[in-house]
Amino acid sequence: MSEDADVVVIGAGQAGLATSHELEQRGVEHVVLEAETPGSSWRHRWDSFTLVGQNHTVRLPGAPYRGEDPYGFMGRDEIAGHLESWAGRLRAPVRGGCAVRRLQPRAGGGFTLDTDSGTLVSRVVVVSTGAYQRPHRPAACAGLPASLPVIDLTGYANPGSLPDGPVLVVGSGQSACQVAEELALSGREVVMACGRAPWFPRRAGGRDVFEWLLDTPFFDQRVEELPTPAARLGANPQVSGAGGGHDLHYRTLAALGVRLGGHLLGAQDGDVRLAPDLDASVAFGDGVYRTLRDLVFAVCARQGLERPDLPEPAPLTGAPVESVPVGRLGSVLVAAGFRPDYTSWIRVPGLVDDLGFPVHTDGESTAAPDLHFVGVHFLRRRSSALLFGVGADAACTADRVAARLGVA
């Protein structure tokens, strides 16, 4: 492949396909490049993975959920299948197996894309490669002994995929809690190195947590409204869609026998050490619970609804774990989130900020005009990378691209 294009969209997940749909609606010709197949990144999740939002929250432009289980939670293969089917209905070609290895500006304008299938030159590029690309390992993991298997979440499939023996789960967000629960239910002994993460009940007053929050400003929050820009890297709320959806947080995990401790410090004298800060992490999560509760109560006041029963959190019982003998652990599973990874393949000075997020104006790079981003966490608002929010961002970007190309 060696050719020119007006617009190239990189990635055929929900962000790339939403962008393709919106460009199609505006009559903008383009091509979509995908490293594997449409929606394939979802298939890399662990075996039992499900959506956390109910199926009806899949509100993609041109591909909303219309199945028979709107209040259920699709598994990873169903999500991927939904996106793959959508890709087949779009007019723009989706070139699978065409990973982009390098993207760089051309002196005369536009961009050169070096791909597995050759080189392509494009006037405009939209990067839609996912909210995060690189598993994050806290620095303390480097202090663990080489004899102890340390596995990133991307390497986890099911409890049987881990070495025998107790598991130390490092992390505290949705994925960490879901995997810790699955391991405990399988009979594994689990210790969890906890950090700060929000939580809220799965259901309150007969409504799902997402139904409540979609009626509040929560998902419309912008970066400048956060306490600090680094808050973008915070954990997602602790909750599960498995088994029809249920509560999942530190208290439910403790009730299953998961032993909780503070954040990972490393290893010393034959022990894995956890910080004595579990109380602070629990207090942080409880504080967010109260904030979300206030938002829900505001919805009730505005809509004339009866307040749901949302009591004060019960005390977390049990002594925190502060050390575990290395010899007792079978493995360490790191589920500490992901980080952006744009600069490893996009050659543009000043492309990202100190946290690795694109520096942009309304999705368009300030360092390279005509280079756009869609599907980035908090790109325009909290919902920017989500299945019910990415469509709005894709429409905004398609408007900018169409205006730039002079397409009516």
pLDDT tens sequence across 325-377: 999 999 999 999 999 999 999 999 999 999 999 999 999 999 999 999 999 99
Same domain, 70 and 155: no
Residue 200 reports pLDDT greater than 60 = yes
Q: Are 62 and 53 in contact (CB under 8 A)?
A: no
Same domain, 210 and 307: yes
Same domain, 156 and 269: yes
Q: How many domains does the chain have?
A: 2
* Model pLDDT, residue 1: 46
Same domain, 107 and 210: no
Cα–Cα distances (Å) from 232 to 43, 294, 338, 381, in that order, read 25, 22, 11, 10
Question: Smallest Cα–Cα separation from 158: which of 134, 138, 136, 187?
Answer: 187
Same domain, 112 and 146: no
- Angle subtended by helix axes 14-25 and 76-89, to nearest 10: 20
Residues 6+ apart with CB under 8 A from 374: 15, 16, 18, 19, 126, 127, 128, 363, 390, 393, 394, 397
Same domain, 105 and 198: no
Q: Are 54 and 72 in contact (CB under 8 A)?
A: yes
What is the domain range of residue 167? 136-334
What is the distance between the alpha carbons of residues 336 and 318, in angstroms, rounded to a whole number?
24
Cα–Cα distances (Å) from 20 to 16, 27, 129, 346, 395, in that order, read 6, 10, 13, 21, 10
What is the distance in angstroms between the CA of the first residue and the CA of the last residue of the chain?
30
Q: What is the mean pLDDT of residues 298-317?
A: 96
Domain endpoint, select from 317, 334, 351: 334
User: Which pLDDT tens digit goes with each residue over 88-122?
Assistant: 999 999 999 999 999 999 998 999 999 999 999 99
CATH number of residue 28's parent domain: 3.50.50.60
What is the distance between the alpha carbons of residues 230 and 355, in angstroms, rounded to a whole number?
7
Q: What's the predicted TM-score (pTM) here?
A: 0.96
Same domain, 108 and 185: no
Residue type, 401: V
